[in-house]
Amino acid sequence: METVWTALSRGTERLVFEGLVPETLYERMRAPSQEGSFPFPVKYGYCAVGRIEGPADKEPAFVFALQPHQEHFAARPESLHRLPPSVPPRRAILAANMETALNAVWDSGAGPGDRIAIVGAGVVGLIVAYLCSGLIGCEVTVTDLLPERAAIARSFGAAFAEADATEPGKADVVFHASANPDGLALALTLGGDEARVMELSWYGTRAVAAPLGLDFHVRRLSLVSSQVGQVAASRRPRWTYARRMQKALSLLADPRLDALITDEVAFADLPGALPRLLAPGAGGLCTAVRYAA
């Protein structure tokens, strides 16, 4: 299989790059086709789009696969997910992020009419905003330290508020996706009584202080983790991993999602670019890795 695009999954790959995967989770955090063992360096990645060449008189088919950054790969047919005709190969690198966001929305129980707050306008947080804005009657507000991300949030149908302009105690559901303890602290202030606060961030070996004092117990908040390694419990009896991935791919048909891909680098230049792309505070959202045609 010839690789045409991969995505740098900045949050997880930064932790891998910095050697912050906990030793107790080495096996569980292995990418499906990882080569080598933690800590870094390892061959890592799980957002690849490949091309299958067909007969000369037919167009090639494109598939998404949980494969590392590499020019070619071999994979079992059942691990390949054919792209819908409406999804271009470059945008399909967002499939793993879409799958994570979809699972998180399922885990949250969010429904029509809810007030939904999202703290952290990275790729996953913004895709959660995109999905929740499609729920009828929902009021979706995204909060981030970077005001330049407001335009994307608004293009998805969500409002944008800076941290000091949020309304505490109003949200029915809160998603935290900033990977920053300060963001978690803010998220815990936004939920109303009995609200569910979804933790989407993964911190690796970093210790995180969660402020569970103040009125956390009085408001009976639920702090719930969401992780894509299992299908959400509410869907698990009926949904397989393959069905979830195909749905994630079909949800990428909207051209507005192209705004989430803000950088592009050639595969040959990736080793030298990684320190810049994975540096703390690096700008941009998703980086697309381009392979020779």
Same fold, 2-96+238-290 and 100-225: no
Say which residues have a Cβ less than 8 Å from residue 182's Cβ, sequence separation at least 6.
none
Report the pLDDT averaged over residues 94-99: 97
Q: Domain extents for the chain? A: 2-96+238-290, 100-225
The CATH code for residues 2-96+238-290 is 3.90.180.10
Residue 67 has pLDDT above 80, yes or no: yes
pLDDT in tens, 259-279: 999 999 999 999 999 999 998
Residue 285 has pLDDT above 90, yes or no: yes
pLDDT in tens, 173-193: 999 999 999 999 999 999 999
The CATH code for residues 100-225 is 3.40.50.720
Q: How far apart are CA 53 and CA 139, in angstroms?
A: 45
Q: What is the DSSP string of 40-105?
A: SS-B----EEEEE---TTSPPEEEEE---S-SB----GGG-EEPPTTS-TTGGGGHHHHHHHHHHH
Q: CA 106 → CA 45, 103, 231, 253, 290, distances in Å? A: 25, 5, 9, 20, 32
pLDDT (0 to 100) of residue 144: 96
